Amino acid sequence: MTATKQKTDMDLKYKRVLLKLSGESLMGEQNYGIDPSVVAQYVHDIKQVTDLGCEVAIVMGGGNIFRGLSGAAKGMDRVQGDYMGMMSTLINSMALQAELEKQGMSTLLLSGLTIEPICQAMSRRRAIEALQQKKVVVIGGGTGNPFFTTDTASTLRAVEIEANVILKGTRVDGIYSADPEKDPTATKFTQLTFTQAMERKLKVMDLTAFALCEENNLPIYVFDMNRQGNLCRVVCGEEIGTIVTR
């Protein structure tokens, strides 16, 4: 990574990114909750790319704490469950913000749900101004509306802030023909079009998010966030995951 660390913002492939992290990714080896060591590793990697000049906004999921759909499946009111899920994304966002600031970065926490004094309401102008000031913008609260996933929220926010790409950090190194954790014969794709991904019924994002990406010509890059340094490799143009484009 020595050569990569010497890169400047002129060498970056992506200069403004929306990083989508699932709530489950924060669990580490636990069955639920937040593993501080995982958060620390993610923040170390985020700092690495911001030091290179990349502008980073982050949307967190909340599945490590609560999922609205799971609650609805067990008889809970769907709308109430979705709001509970949005609150879960804010808990994760606050944990991430705390570690970002612990590691010396300036941040702004925005949300589709306003909860004073924790965060401000999501505003496109507010987010872009913060990014231009080299702050890491963490966006929780989903879209602020029930019936929409954090995949859709991340796509909406990426379009709003004019991100170059959505970086979807997962625990696998890209998109496969089947689940590589269950099927050893699964093959990895390095590049796909939106049409190919839909025809093959590959679960990249939910259909609403996917359609919004295609409509706005917004690429999705899927990669393994759990391997330290991968975020920097992606931002600097190394082909280590799978990109979905028009």
CB under 8 Å to 96, separation ≥6 — which residues? Answer: 21, 39, 42, 43, 58, 60, 138
Domains and CATH numbers, the chain: 2-238 (3.40.1160.10)
Q: Is the pLDDT of residue 4 over 50?
A: no
Question: What is the arithmetic mean of pLDDT over 56-62?
Answer: 96
Instruction: Place 2 in a pLDDT band, splitting at 50, 70 and 90.
Output: very low
pLDDT in tens, 139-181: 999 999 999 999 999 999 999 999 999 999 998 899 999 988 8
Highest mean pLDDT of the ranges 8-17, 34-43, 73-82? 34-43
Burial per residue of 68-90, b for 16 or more beta-carbon CB atoms within 10 angstroms, e otherwise: beebeeeebeeeebbbbbbbbbb
Nearest to 119 by CA among 98, 146, 149, 145: 98
What are the tokens at 120? 């401000």
What pLDDT score does 96 carry?
97
What pLDDT score does 31 carry?
87
Instruction: Place 10 in a pLDDT band, splitting at 50, 70 and 90.
Output: low
pLDDT in tens, 69-86: 776 778 889 999 999 999
What pLDDT score does 5 carry?
46
Q: How far apart are CA 163 and CA 82, in angstroms?
A: 26
Average pLDDT across the chain, whole number: 92
What pLDDT score does 220 carry?
97
Q: Are 145 and 113 in contact (CB under 8 A)?
A: no
Q: Is the pLDDT of residue 203 over 90?
A: no
Question: What is the arithmetic mean of pLDDT over 189-201?
Answer: 93
Backbone phi, psi, residue 48, to 5°:
-60, -45
Helix, strand or coil, per DSSP, at residue 196: helix
Instruction: Place 35 in a pLDDT band, splitting at 50, 70 and 90.
Output: very high
